[in-house]
Amino acid sequence: MDDQHFMKIALELAEKGRGFTSPNPLVGAVVVQNGSVVGKGYHKAFGGAHAEVNAIDDAGHFSRGATLYVTLEPCNHLGKTPPCTRKILESGIGRVVAAMKDPNPGVEGGGIEYLKAHGISVSLGICEHEAKKLNEAYLKYILTRRPFVTVKCASTLDGQIATRTGDSRWVTSEESRKFVHVLRHAADALMVGINTVKRDNPSLTTRLENFNGRDPVRIILDSHVSIPHDAKVLRLTSDSDTIIVIGDSIESERKAAARKLGAKIIEAPLNDGLIDLHFLMDYLGGMHVSSVLIEGGSRVISSAFSSGIVDKVVIFFAPKLLGGNDGVPICTGKGPDVMSGCIHVKDISTRRFNDDIMIEGYIQ
């Protein structure tokens, strides 16, 4: 069996930490002795032991002379846990295979250089593409200090997310809606506009069967503080916060009223009456929010695209047609004059949920 085989096992292990490690990366590791896996581990939660430590502890004395496969360069700095490079040396590991360097500007290459300097054979770049996709949010955040932004929506085949009355229950199948909760669990924050709150009164929580999913921070764009006082997002029992983003130029009475709602308040500048999303992304990055899932509505989605903050789209198309042009489109607002002005989406992949088709792609 080759290096790719064992690295793929490590990647599968890393995925188990999704939703629990942010703002740290997802990392998996396996210890291999004479062609057999003798130890497995992954980074389970922020502040907890790293994948390499868990894998080496699992392998015990079988680590001596073995090969360690790890999806990210081992750390060589003291953070919330001791450096993994020291653990590797102490265990007697003879070779390390890493999928990719840690792009963190403060530590890049340090772990690999340290291991080589102490006689450990190091191979780099095995399954690198897969490792980078696994940690796409971490890569964006650690290099820019801004969150990785995904737009998710559910649409009919003719591009509408609700009828003319605002009814959107349900555009897609139950299977698609279940997967949306997987996306929510993976995101640090979930963002919607005030019209979505008024129309649907959503909880914006994670609900997964047989799994204790994590609620994302709920972000409501409400520039003029018009949220209903009985909105579900203000009455939840949840480990995560509800944040209302209001305009910084509104009158002091409205600001005072917002602070009595029981949610956290962020004041943001407005552009053409809408929240300045560049300011907000910088602010959220400062809060260590590494990923944001935007779920609507159409005005917020349009604003996100026009501002250029979107990294990824996840669009569910249901086999339905409204058959008119009076419903609610995916985006509301002014688009380009010519097709060459379209936003291009690359690296497309598809997935089927019952009769729905999910299209995933990245903004070029």
Active site residues: 52
- Structure tokens, 119: 């006689």
- CA quadruple 46, 115, 125, 36: dihedral sign: negative
Q: What DSSP element (H or E) covers 115?
A: helix 110-117
Distance CA 8, CA 71 (A): 9
Backbone angles phi, psi at 33, to 5 degrees: -125, 120
Q: Could you give the CA distance from residue 28 to residue 248 in angstroms, rounded to a whole number?
A: 43
For residue 78, the Cα-to-chain-centroid distance in whole angstroms is 26
- In whole angstroms, how far apart are CA 80 and each of 23, 101, 105, 227? 13, 20, 18, 39
3-class SS of residue 219: strand
Nearest to 244 by CA among 224, 219, 227, 261: 219
Which backbone phi and psi does 292 adopt, to 5 degrees?
-130, 130
Q: At what angle do helices 84-91 and 110-117 cross, to 10 degrees?
A: 30
Please, what is the Cα angle at 150 between 144 and 151, to 5 degrees? 140
**Parallel, antiparallel, or unpaired for β 36-42 and 95-98?**
unpaired
Task: Give the residues across from 268 on adjacent strands.
Answer: 247
The rounded distance, in Å, linking the Cα atoms of 214 and 230 is 24
Tokens 């419903």 locate to 327
Q: What is the C-alpha separation between 104 and 95, in angstroms, rounded?
A: 23
Which residue is listed with tokens 């380009």? 336
Beta bridge pairs of residue 124: 98
Return phi, psi of residue 170, to 5°.
Answer: -120, 140
**Other CB atoms within 10 Å distance of the CB of residue 104:** 18
CA distance 9 to 215: 28
